[in-house]
Structure 1
């Protein structure tokens, strides 16, 4: 809690004396407190002068730790000096049992707070304003029942008043004619007593209560309807999510069987084919109306169907291997040509000469794989590839240049694109080897699966001049 207190002990005092003093001061159990000196726990059998280095000013700083800090110590602010704790019994009355509270006493400020005042310039004396803590009695409310009624306020006249306008009335007599043209007959209404006023207030209060209760009921009903609608929407969204997940799973299962890509997809096809073969074989053997010759014919037809299905799976596997190979090549080329990312929190994309070189080679490789180009466009791509690989002289680059010259000669002779497919495929494969060689593409060094010193590479050895 970061508070401190000061106690006086002899240098030869044992640790048990310290524990006893702290236990009496703070009313805690012996097993719930520990005393440390510079991180080392102080045992009860230890002597202060033996285990501690006492400074020259005889002030030794020890650390006190509680397993559970007492409630009355939690209110002590950090940095305050605790003097001691006392027990204060509080009596609530004869019928109520008394309770005992622990109060922590801290050292007050050495300097009293300044509350205002003035200084005498002649004598230099300070005169401070004073504060009081005088208990102020509450105002006693007097009984005013019957003092605000109509009878009380009109009983006797204590003060007269003279109006600014004179007025009067005249009764009819035999010798006086009173004009009654503009007279109005005023009839007093029924007397409205205090009981009637109280009944009216009760009636209006009941009406207001009805309005408030209706408003609360409508508010509660609206909240219940909103909760119901929210629950319905959540259930509807959950059903839609499950339906979409089921549909996606169904589409994925269909794709895995019609267009398999991974080894797991082909394992599913082989397992289903084996299950179908076993089921059909069992059905043929359990058929009672078939003769032995018919059963052999049925098994033969089943073998033909199985062979045909296996051939279909093999074709799909060959096609999937080709697609996976193209995908792996494109992924590797994208990683080589992507910009470097620097920074942990704020990332920055940095282009290096090696990434720019890898991107140029990737564009040339994609240009070699393009179909439907005109003769001039194809020759332009071949020329760029040729001048790129001629920067280096090795068996690989010489083979690429030879294949490019051969394709250019065949194009000039008017050969069709279908007859050049194998030649173009070989050129693309050799140029891919050129891209994967660190001597020609420095970025390829980070994507080598086998270290260069462990594999022979006679086709990329540069000629020494």
Structure 2
């Protein structure tokens, strides 16, 4: 069988050639396949009923077989065939010249179709070249059995074969062909079967009650085998017909590569001939485990016993004593003396061990003490440095004030200085001297106020310039939004592009140190821009541009043109703020363009007697009316109280950040204003720590009394930063503090609740579910208080 080769074809491609059952192997086979040209058919297992049972193909039903199809005759196929051996799961049985009988090979089934593959060996050389595939339908069940049968054998030989398979006497079996009963003496050749052809016969039982034909039980491990008859050339003139059964195993054939035809696109895969190894029966004993594979081995020598002997000097044997040692017994001591010596040794060991432990403990305590002292030193230096930096920042703010908070700090320092001087004059002077000193103090205060006013004018110019620049930047920036992946998307509209062009022109006309040609170019660009719209404003701008251009041509100095250029810049800024010329600016104007919107959120200020938006008024916690606007309150503070609320503003900002970290749904801390926090600190908590009475407001923080409840004026305590960090570590404040201290805090909470309960929006939180204590086991965020910045 070493020279026998196997080729399988796809049923779909067989159908394309016009015959689903037979194909010319010699015409479609690759050149490397040693098949005989006389072979015309490929005996393929086909069900009896084409509609009821599917055709048995090579690749349509099982992926274990090779993909094949029509190939180019000039194409030399690679070594895709394998030798047929017992290990290849491909059984072949060679026909011989010495036997007339047949032996069954295997029986297969796909549920509705049963096939028996058997090879018959002809008795004469003529019958070797005349073999056909016989399909026998077992009635009445309709099962089909396929056999490779010599066309020279009779129907009686076929019955004898099926007698052995079906266990039925041959005289009971009846074979019919096209509805007619076939005689036992007729051969397949008499029925019109040509060599290597296919014939379908029907077999029934004449006595179905006593000898019914039962389908042969298929082997479970096989599934729809294919049977082909291949003629193999042994010698120059000797041919041998081989019935080849291709076994379809249940395992998935490994992909071993192959070749693809460049013209037809047909793929030829390498055949797999590896025999599946037989599995050993499972006896329930675990033979592989993690412990035995990962155990660490250790080699250790063992002391084994061996035979020894001693020898002494005697008659006939002399043993030298030159190496002997003389041992004399020592002093005898009793068991009590032994135990006493052991006790003294134990005491000595314990003494040294305890000494070692004591030295170690002392060193650890000393090390902890040094660490503590070093930490305290660093903390003291840090606090000192923070205070110095804060004083330095305050001094810088006083010397170079720029913001409203800086001027509030200046006025507060001025008022503090005035109070100190007034107290000193009242204590040291009387009568006319006192009045003269008060007049001098008033004059000095007036000079200081005038100096602060000059600084304010300078700062206002810078503030206005920065505000105009920020306004233009905000107006010309593109639209932005965040995508699902947190990436920012920007989009320019026609309005933002227009605003950006106007911003660039405004920045250009305000540039200094330009040459005459550059300035004229800028004025020309501005003139073309504003002439797009015709109105009184644009006419004024064009007139001023022409005037400056005329003066530049006359050689007028730039210092004499500053006023004219300022007017051009101001009018062009007014042009930019007009929504008709710059539509993007409409969303940034404080006064809405729609007159119907002016009736909403507009209030009257009794101080300056102006109608302003609601955002221009500051409302305290106990306010019932809008009161005066920000500007009036600011002016009143400068003239009368001169208070600096920056400290309370920083503390309120710090409180809101801490509450946002605790709970994002916190509300009460965001309802308070600086004036409310000022009242809470000054009136209720006396601007000092509840524990240490420390009164430096920069070192104090307002935190929760019960950390499991939202912060509120009736659930707060004023402590230093170090005390606050320790307080937030307590789980139960009722057990940590004394009764007197708790009563004192509760009393302050009652005062705060009475004051802030006057506000309807604040009163609803007094008994809300947000203020109810949470379980102490809740996993809340506890943070250290942030450093207050001046």
TM-score relative to the length of structure 1: 0.47
TM-score relative to the length of structure 2: 0.30
- Higher-Rg structure is 2
Question: Which has more helix, going by share of residues?
Answer: 1
